[in-house]
Amino acid sequence: MNKIELEQTFESFSKLNVLVIGDVMVDAYVWGKVDRISPEAPVPIVSCVKHESRLGGAANVALNIKSLGASPILCSVIGEDEKGKEFLNLLTEIEEEQYGIVVSNKRRTTVKTRFISNNQHLIRVDEEDTHELADEIETEFIDHIKSLIEKHEIHAIIFEDYDKGVITKNLIDEITNLANSKAIPVLADPKKRHYNDYKNVSLFKPNFKEFVEGSNLLLEKGDIQGLFDEAKKFQNKMGIKKLFITLSELGVFISNEKTYEHIPAVVRQIADVSGAGDTVISVAALCLATGMNARQIAAISNLAGGIVCEIPVVVPINKDQLLAESSKIIDKL
């Protein structure tokens, strides 16, 4: 791939529609100053300066897809509550109409509130329900997603699983089977509950910890050959075409069963790793949908994950910055 081909590929992102299915949330931030310790307990007192709410979870994946120039269709279930209304209001940033959102009075909208002082993350408070969808809501949600796939030209589907209950085994099976029948690439960013349910997907993206725990392995992160040996076994068992494992400070690994690529990390000033996985799966989806090979997918996604880690809040990737950094490694793509 040369620089012109890379630029053309990035430009082609604007023609893509990506279905994002998963757990959504409001990422709330309380910014403040700490200048004393509470007399009630040995904890800092945060004097609030400002509040901010942003799209989180699978919605952050949709935000990254939008930031890269493509069109996301976000599919999730939220609560019939004030935070749900706030979420829908935030979602207008990226979707004028919330085609894929189902509202239920049987669960709360997930909110994660982070308290930050002097760019230091002090504490996080979670408000959420994590039980799986009730049967009637699950059926409604699956049928709704199927109708969206039939109605729109979809170029990739992402399962963004945060183990909050929106993604179920039935949903995974039915949507993956439909997508495969239409030759739509399916990517999965798994968590523990449904780790072994993502069979026959195009690309499976756990981090190293998720991979060794989900596969019940004893493996050192730096043992790349050992990782490839286990990757081949897992892919064969699951029918997965590409296994993409993030290795934090060691970069990323991708296997297509026959060969593998290990892309080292780029040295950066890390401020916040929150949301990096969302960015990686978003970039991987667009790269896969445009026909990039495994090495290109891994290398560009690796850059994207590193870029967003330099910022102390969850933010989407900047397309121009990613293109500029990708151009610098063009000889390695």
Does 196 reside within a domain?
A: yes
Does 16 reside within a domain?
A: yes
Does 140 reside within a domain?
A: yes
The rounded distance, in Å, linking the Cα atoms of 227 and 229 is: 5
94 or 73, which is more confident: 73
235 or 332, which is more confident: 235
Q: What percent of the chain has pLDDT over 70?
A: 96
| Domain limits for position 322 | 3-24+58-95+130-332
210-254 pLDDT per residue, tens: 999 999 998 999 999 999 999 999 999 999 999 999 998 899 999
Backbone angles phi, psi at 63, to 5 degrees: -65, -40
Count of domains for the chain: 1
Q: Would you give the DSSP letter of residue 13? A: G
99-130 pLDDT per residue, tens: 899 999 999 999 999 999 987 889 999 999 99
pLDDT the model gives residue 309: 74
H or E element, residue 22: strand 17-22
| Residue 273 scores a pLDDT above 70 | no
* C-alpha 73, offset from chain centre: 14
Per the annotation, the verdict on 278 as an active-site residue is yes
In this prediction, residue 269 has a pLDDT band, given cuts at 50, 70 and 90, of low
**Tokens 């000033």 label which residue?**
269
pLDDT the model gives residue 233: 95
In this prediction, residue 330 has a pLDDT band, given cuts at 50, 70 and 90, of confident
pLDDT the model gives residue 274: 65
Does 34 reside within a domain?
A: no
Does 216 reside within a domain?
A: yes
In this prediction, residue 276 has a pLDDT band, given cuts at 50, 70 and 90, of confident
- For residue 83, give both structure tokens: 């935070």
pLDDT the model gives residue 95: 72
pLDDT the model gives residue 99: 81
Residue 25 forms beta bridges with which residues? 56, 110
Cβ neighbours of 264 (radius 10 Å): 12
The rounded distance, in Å, linking the Cα atoms of 155 and 75 is: 15
Q: How far is CA 286 from CA 83, 149, 305, in A?
A: 30, 17, 14
The rounded distance, in Å, linking the Cα atoms of 97 and 92 is: 7
In this prediction, residues 306-312 reach a mean pLDDT of 76
**Half-sphere exposure (Cβ direction) of 277: Cα atoms closer than 13 Å:** 25
Q: Burial of 131 by CB count in 10 Å (0-12 exposed, 13-18 middle, 19+ buried)?
A: exposed
In this prediction, residues 151-178 reach a mean pLDDT of 97
Does 32 reside within a domain?
A: no
Does 310 reside within a domain?
A: yes
> Considering 229, 278, 320, 331, which one is annotated as catalytic?
278
Does 202 reside within a domain?
A: yes
Residue 181 forms beta bridges with which residues? none
Q: Using CA of residue 227, residue 230, residue 232, residue 236, what is the dihedral sign?
A: negative
Query: What CATH number is given to the structural domain containing 171?
Result: 3.40.1190.20
CB 63 within 8 Å of CB 316:
yes
Strand 203-204 vs strand 186-189: parallel, antiparallel, or unpaired?
A: parallel
In this prediction, residues 200-212 reach a mean pLDDT of 97
pLDDT the model gives residue 38: 95
